Amino acid sequence: MTLPPGYEGEGFRFDTGLTKEIHTHNDDKTRVCKLLKPLYDLKQAPRQWFAKLSSVLKADGFVQSKSDHSLFTKQEGTSFTAILAYVDDLIVTGNNLSCIKQAKEFLNTEFKMKDMGELRYFLGIEVDGSSQGIFLSQRKYVQDMLEEYKLTQCRPLKLPMDTHVKLLSTSGEPLTQPETYQRLIGKLIYLTLTRPDIAYTVHVLSQFMHSPTSVHHQAAKRVLRYLAASIDQGILLASKSAAKLQANCDSDWAGCPNTRRSTTGFCILLGKSPIAWKSKKQTVVARSTTEAEYRSLAMTICEVIWVKQLLRELGIKEWGSTPIFCDNQAALAIAVNPVHHEKTKHVGIDCHFIKEKVAEGQINPTYVSTSQQNADVLTKVLTVEQHQFLLSKLGVQPSSLLA
């Protein structure tokens, strides 16, 4: 057989245990590379690669996390090393440089790897260290989006969504090419990794992925104009804040005009650093604001329990009762008083584990005024002043404020 144009020369070698090839020579142009086991494209390839990586790390003494299976930790006396995997990209960290170097050398003996040095850029997320802590942002990612949609010179906006607009599934004309809208929303969803300020807006827009209209597309373009005004915004993982966990939860009762379902919003902070947040439509129609807030409280507690388990595996063992701030007095009363039968008999039994966690002392439902409720930014569109105020409380800030 004759080799296709552009395939002359020697073969290459990348051996992770999954990829093999037949070596070719310049003097024999009738032979081609045969790929036996690819790392990408085939459905079973990522699973087999991760199984190989896991077995190698476990053999070296690493323990796979039960909370996040892509996290591996190793404790040797006072030395702690952690490896986080995403397909074939790895982050290696710890409190002992010699142990980190040893882990990288071990990985390099098992796989063909390239050491990229100190963490600066990972999967579109920029990592900047300063005296205040670690700042995570997606500045380049936002710039690339604005260039792609030709909005680098647009008039910037101060809010990601119009406060006077309620998006309906029937608003506007259906798009002839819905893939354009779907691709844009997919990019915005990934951006919420470091931008909780757009989480609620993206949550609303993602509900129209199956049948977007011109109105929905304009609302998505508005988000880009908002991003143009805050390209360098991100979250600060503060180095000097106390290791205390706290959470805020909120809901917007019957806020969805299409289904009349409520939206749950919560954010979890470790000291002053935001580490988890979500804006999500509830699965059932709540019959009252109390029920909506109670369901929001239940979802937040689930996330807090998961975060606590993950932090224990990272070496933080002792936790007191975690305060969960809620601005609904009735929901708090139900959480601590099991005799409110008339108010709760229509609420699903899955929500009532709140009482168990309160009794166990794991969480402490606490009242906070609506004006100080951090999770408000994840459930509704606010005024510009309130939007900026809550973002500052969440630790969301531009990189220009770093020392």
Using pLDDT thresholds of 50, 70 and 90, give the confidence band for residue 228: very high
Contacts 24+ apart (CB under 8 A), 257-264: 257/166, 257/167, 257/168, 258/168, 258/169, 258/207, 259/285, 260/285, 261/285, 261/286, 262/286, 262/292, 262/295, 262/296, 263/200, 263/203, 263/379, 263/380, 264/292, 264/295, 264/296, 264/299, 264/300, 264/379
Q: Which two tokens stand for residue 64?
A: 């796979």
Assign residue 247 the CATH number of its domain.
3.30.420.10
Same-domain check for residues 253 and 396: yes
Same-domain check for residues 280 and 217: no
Same-domain check for residues 202 and 177: yes
Residue 233 lies in a domain: no
Residue 236 lies in a domain: no
pLDDT tens sequence across 166-177: 899 988 999 999
User: According to the model, what pLDDT value does residue 20 have?
Assistant: 41
Same-domain check for residues 247 and 326: yes
Residue 221 lies in a domain: yes
- Please say whether the beta carbons of 362 and 305 come within 8 A: yes
- Please say whether the beta carbons of 77 and 89 come within 8 A: no
- Please say whether the beta carbons of 325 and 366 come within 8 A: yes
Amino acid at 169: S
Residue 132 lies in a domain: no
Same-domain check for residues 24 and 71: no
Same-domain check for residues 195 and 292: no
User: According to the model, what pLDDT value does residue 42 have?
Assistant: 66
User: According to the model, what pLDDT value does residue 13 have?
Assistant: 38
Residue 124 lies in a domain: no
Closest by alpha carbon to 395, among 303, 300, 275, 305?
Answer: 275
Same-domain check for residues 13 and 95: no
11 has a pLDDT exceeding 50: no
Q: Which two tokens stand for residue 263?
A: 């939206």
Residue 384 lies in a domain: no
Same-domain check for residues 75 and 105: yes
Same-domain check for residues 205 and 250: no
Same-domain check for residues 372 and 269: yes
44 has a pLDDT exceeding 80: no
Give the range of the structural domain holding residue 311, as residue numbers without chain letter.
241-379+391-401
Q: Are strands 233-238 and 245-252 parallel, antiparallel or unpaired?
A: unpaired
> Mean pLDDT, to the nearest integer, of 45-72?
90
Residue 372 lies in a domain: yes
Instruction: Report the distance separating Cα 379 and Cα 280, nearest Å.
Output: 8
348 has a pLDDT exceeding 50: yes
Same-domain check for residues 205 and 333: no
Residue 329 lies in a domain: yes
Same-domain check for residues 59 and 31: no
- Please say whether the beta carbons of 373 and 266 come within 8 A: no
Side-chain-side CA neighbours of 48 within 13 Å: the count stands at 13
pLDDT tens sequence across 256-308: 888 899 999 999 999 889 999 999 999 889 888 888 999 999 999 999 999 99
319 has a pLDDT exceeding 90: no
The last residue of one of the domains, among 199, 228, 257, is: 228
The last residue of one of the domains, among 117, 146, 177, is: 117
Assign residue 78 the CATH number of its domain.
3.30.310
User: According to the model, what pLDDT value does residue 243 have?
Assistant: 82
When divided into structural domains, the chain yields a total of 4
